[in-house]
Amino acid sequence: MSTTGATADPLAALGALPGVAESVESVRRAVDRVYGHRVMRRRSNEITSEAALRGSRGSAALSGADWALEEVRRRTDFSGDAEARVVGAALRLTAEAGQLLSVWRQSPLRVLARLHLVAAASGDDEVGRPRQAGEPVEEPLLELPLPDAAEVSGRLEGLAELIIAGSSAPALVTAAVVHGELLALRPFVSHNGLVARAAERIVLIGSGLDPKAVCPAEVGHAELGRASYLAALDGYVSGTPEGMAAWIAHCGRAVGLGVRESTAVCEALQRGAA
């Protein structure tokens, strides 16, 4: 996303794109419904925990480890094969995201570096910092052209400036831009998809739209499918108003499906208590 132009608040300008206001309003209504559920008033911690597990599973699925929810719930060792390590990374990121909310608005680049460190769980030199010139990127499910290290550095700085400056844009718009920009840039040598979705989670929670973390967008992204995810991302990368609006709408649908998932959990708990 370009951070230059006539407007001092480019995120707010995206919020004015055709169709975006409708997506924002649809998400807000959906979130209000689940927060108003009677179970949320008594057992919100349980809903939060379940949403975290399901969100982690969804994010891992989009990174190639499409495990059944009960397998994710059952396993305790994620150090085995490549898929297990992806699931483990997704679980660690979801847990870590909640610890970084207060840092995000002051130092988003520090948060992103921390997320990569947590995901990679390695002491390698390239972990926990943006990639440098000549370093390869391990992100096999994303085949977009890869920006060079200099472009990555400039665009990350621009994104950080937008976050720190603040915006009147709705949370959905900011979350979608952070998510899309990180996928487009792939700033780290690995785990960029997982980090991008964790950053989206941080924005949605920290903005106050989903303060109890019960609306896992990762669930919705996985349910919509990888093909739809990548097609919407192509729209973001195009930079056209239509493409940007389509990506924001896609992220809105993902949040809505996350809300539906947690509403179903609420209903199941209510039936069990009856």
pLDDT given for residue 210 in this prediction: 98
pLDDT average, residue stretch 116-142: 94
CATH of the domain at 111: 1.10.3290.10
pLDDT bracket for residue 143 (50, 70, 90): confident
Joined together, the tokens standing for residue 182 give 């990180």
pLDDT bracket for residue 7 (50, 70, 90): low
**Is 211 contained in some domain?**
yes
pLDDT average, residue stretch 115-129: 95
**Is 58 contained in some domain?**
yes
Neighbours of 23 (CB within 10 A): 25
In this structure, are residues 52 and 213 in contact, taking their beta carbons and an 8 Å threshold?
Answer: yes
Q: What share of the chain is helix, strand, coil (3-state, %, to 5)?
A: 70, 0, 30
Is 4's pLDDT higher than 80?
no
> Which domain, by its residues, includes 43?
12-271
pTM above the 0.85 mark? yes
Burial class, 18, CB count within 10 angstroms (exposed 0-12 / middle 13-18 / buried 19+): exposed
Q: In this predicted model, what pLDDT tens digit does every residue of 207-266 receive, in sequence order?
A: 999 999 999 999 999 999 999 999 999 999 999 999 999 999 999 999 999 999 999 999
Burial class, 119, CB count within 10 angstroms (exposed 0-12 / middle 13-18 / buried 19+): buried
User: Structural domain tally of the chain?
Assistant: 1
d(CA 81, CA 74): 16
pLDDT given for residue 6 in this prediction: 45
**Is 1 contained in some domain?**
no
H/E element, 21:
helix 20-35
In this structure, are residues 69 and 261 in contact, taking their beta carbons and an 8 Å threshold?
Answer: no
| Per-residue burial over 47-70, b = 16 or more CB atoms within 10 Å of its CB, e = otherwise | bbebbbbbbbbbbbbbbebebeee
**Is 7 contained in some domain?**
no
Joined together, the tokens standing for residue 83 give 């898929």
**Is 6 contained in some domain?**
no
Joined together, the tokens standing for residue 15 give 């919020």
pLDDT given for residue 94 in this prediction: 97
